[in-house]
Amino acid sequence: MFEQLGLIGCGLMGSSFALALKRAGLVKRVVGYSKSPSTTERARKMGVIDVEASSALLAVAGADIVLLAIPVSATEATFKAIRHLVGPHTLVMDVGSTKHDVVDAARRALLEHVGSFVPCHPITGKEVSGVEHADADLYAGRQVILTPIERTFTVQLQKAIEVWTALGCHVTQMSPQAHDAAYAAVSHLPHLIAFAMINGLNSQAHGRDYMALAGPGFRDFTRIAASDPQMWRDILLANREELLAQSKIFQQTLQSLEQLISSGSGDALESQIRQASQTRAKWRVS
């Protein structure tokens, strides 16, 4: 389907995409670039990429498909670095967890080539990062949200849908704004809470002892707290307005539960817990 993938960012997400694309027979050659040359070299040695590029621009040279798999704050500078080699026939995608800021960066940096860019957010990941955790199955069966804008070329949008579908993903489209509102609620806020939970424990004299006693509930609840710091700094900052609005709703709900606990209102508390429990028991990951 494609001749050459230009992979910018050989971390977990980018490397896994390259492996999946190769395994599906959808690309002949992968040229990769990472900020750290040792990462690029490791990606080549692992067979994730075929050729090491010494710059983002060189990774794009000759590519008919380009994937940015980098912290979202690096998006604009990367688009500026590659725009001279992005043509109307190049499909450019990203995997960023926020979309409003990425789309704004694309408009500013890609200029007349912005139509080649299809903003993507695959709903997958791991709490570990780096090329050494690359996994050809990372995307299989997952949702991918595309947030095209009015200037996105139909042909590239269609190609993006075909690529993700070929990797076994369920593709959904929405506006960047709707995307960011939803993921502030169901992803960015849970991460923020998980970070706060661990740091709140760290701040206590007995916090480490408490953690040594924790069980499988704590394990699952805090798994996302181990996520990549730079990536999550960017996400929390990029989507701060929606995130802080969600955090406010959460804290109000938490405080109303605390009120029921303080006043010993058992029936009302049980009814609130029942509502949460039933909602969660019915929910299934898509």
What does the angle CA 123 – CA 168 – CA 29 come to, to the nearest 5 degrees?
95
Minimum distance between the CB of residue 54 and its own copies, rounded to whole angstroms?
27
Dist CA 122 CA 146 (whole Å):
9
Minimum distance between the CB of residue 191 and its own copies, rounded to whole angstroms?
7
**In the set 7, 118, 123, 131, which binds its own copies (CB under 8 A)?**
123
Site string for its own copies, 204-243 (x = CB under 8 A): x-xx-xxxxxxxxxxxxxxxxxxxxxx-xx--xx--x--x
Segment 128 to 187, residues that bind its own copies, using CB under 8 A: 128, 142-143, 145, 172, 181-183, 185-187
Is 286 in a helix, a strand, or coil?
A: coil
Q: Look up residue 270 and give its amino acid.
A: E
Contact between 100 and its own copies per CB under 8 A: no
Q: Is 126 exposed, middle or buried (0-12, 13-18, 19+ CB in 10 A)?
A: middle
Toward its own copies, which CB reaches closer, 155 or 276? 276
Tokens 């009015």 -> residue: 150
**In the set 149, 161, 171, 198, which binds its own copies (CB under 8 A)?**
198
Minimum distance between the CB of residue 2 and its own copies, rounded to whole angstroms?
26
User: Distance between alpha carbon 91 and the CA centroid of its chain, in Å?
Assistant: 19
Site string for its own copies, 77-96 (x = CB under 8 A): --------------------
Minimum distance between the CB of residue 250 and its own copies, rounded to whole angstroms?
5
Is 285 in a helix, a strand, or coil?
A: coil
Minimum distance between the CB of residue 153 and its own copies, rounded to whole angstroms?
25
Identify which range of 54-62, 82-90, 117-125, 153-161 contacts its own copies by CB under 8 A.
117-125
Tell me the β-bridge partners of 161.
Answer: none
From residue 28, give the alpha-carbon distance in Å to each of 5, 18, 49, 101. Answer: 8, 11, 11, 32
Minimum distance between the CB of residue 177 and its own copies, rounded to whole angstroms?
12
Contact between 122 and 95 under an 8 Å Cβ cutoff? The reply is: yes
Question: Among 138, 141, 84, which residue's Cα sits nearest to residue 113?
Answer: 84
Minimum distance between the CB of residue 148 and its own copies, rounded to whole angstroms?
17
Toward its own copies, which CB reaches closer, 15 or 246? 246
Q: Give the number of C-alpha atoms closer than 13 A to the C-alpha of residue 203, restricted to the C-beta side.
A: 6
Segment 46 to 65, residues that bind its own copies, using CB under 8 A: none
